[in-house]
A and B are shown apart, each in its own frame.
Chain A
Amino acid sequence: GENVEQHPSTLSVQEGDSAVIKCTYSDSASNYFPWYKQELGKGPQLIIDIRSNVGEKKDQRIAVTLNKTAKHFSLHITETQPEDSAVYFCAASGDTGGFKTIFGAGTRLFVKA
């Protein structure tokens, strides 16, 4: 089955700096890669996603890159702000009905003011 590894587990950056979180997946049939942000005591919130026919996607300060050959994808947050502090999860899944979404272990991001 699919396995998703996520690094680092903890990331601390200064406000204004960039943050990068990396994930690798094992199942070449996976074709959908969402990223979720989870704040304390809340459920995960979808912040950006990418499908396998695209190599990069950007939404304001957030971007995701995908390398299908190497089976890895990354989240990039630029100009970080204290409110970006949260736990971020990457995930991988397929489009077809029985495909589960497999989550990475999470990255705790601290943005210091």
Chain B
Amino acid sequence: GAVVSQHPSWVICKSGTSVKIECRSLDFQATTMFWYRQFPKQSLMLMATSNEGSKATYEQGVEKDKFLINHASLTLSTLTVTSAHPEDSSFYICSAKEGTQPQHFGDGTRLSIL
């Protein structure tokens, strides 16, 4: 149980394009979803927290207009990197939790901007 599916797993695109990443909870209702960014050999950096039906809460230093988060249902959240540039290249990971249950992670999306 507690499976989180994240797609795509890998994306390469040109500078200036927008990229959407999906995060789905397959067998539970994700009342809260989190988006993280992870640089090589480093820990997870929380970007934002979203509760279903509410606006996401962004961490300090994370541009909300750059990283658009939508959590429109209890099983789906999306992260859109708008006008992506090479410095946005990274490993993006979502996680989801139901109520006070532990959070479970997707397998991440490796984003490469050329």
Q: Which residue of chain B has the shortest Cβ distance to A99 in the bound complex?
A: B100
CB contacts (< 8 Å) of B107 on chain A: these are 42-43
Binding site for B on A (CB under 8 A): 32, 34, 36, 41-46, 49, 89, 95, 97, 100-101, 103-106, 108
Contact yes or no, A89 B44, CB < 8 A: yes
Q: Which residue of B lies closest to A104 (CB)?
A: B43
Decide: B105 and A49 in contact? CB cutoff 8 A: no
Residues of B within 8 A of A (CB): 4, 6, 32, 34, 41-44, 46, 49, 93, 95, 100, 102-108, 110
State the Cβ distance, B2 to closest chain A Cβ, in Å. Answer: 8
**A103 contacts which chain B residues (CB < 8 A)?**
43-44
Partner pick for B100 among A43, A95, A104, A105, CB 8 A cutoff: A95
Q: A21 to nearest B CB, angstroms? A: 14
Distance of A46 Cα from B3 Cα, bound (Å): 11
Q: Given A43-B93, A44-B93, A89-B44, is A101 in contact with B108 using a C-beta cutoff of 8 Å?
A: no
Which residues of chain B come closer than 8 Å to A36, judged between CB atoms? 105
Q: Residue on B with the closest CB to A106?
A: B43
User: When the two chains form the complex, which single residue of B6, B32, B42, B43 contacts A43, counting CB atoms closer than 8 Å?
Assistant: B6
B108 A43 Cβ-Cβ under 8 A = yes
**B42→A44 contact, CB < 8 A:** no
Q: For B100, list chain A residues within 8 Å (CB).
A: 95
- Residues of chain A contacted by B6 (CB below 8 angstroms): 43
The answer to whether B44 and A44 have CB atoms under 8 Å apart is: yes
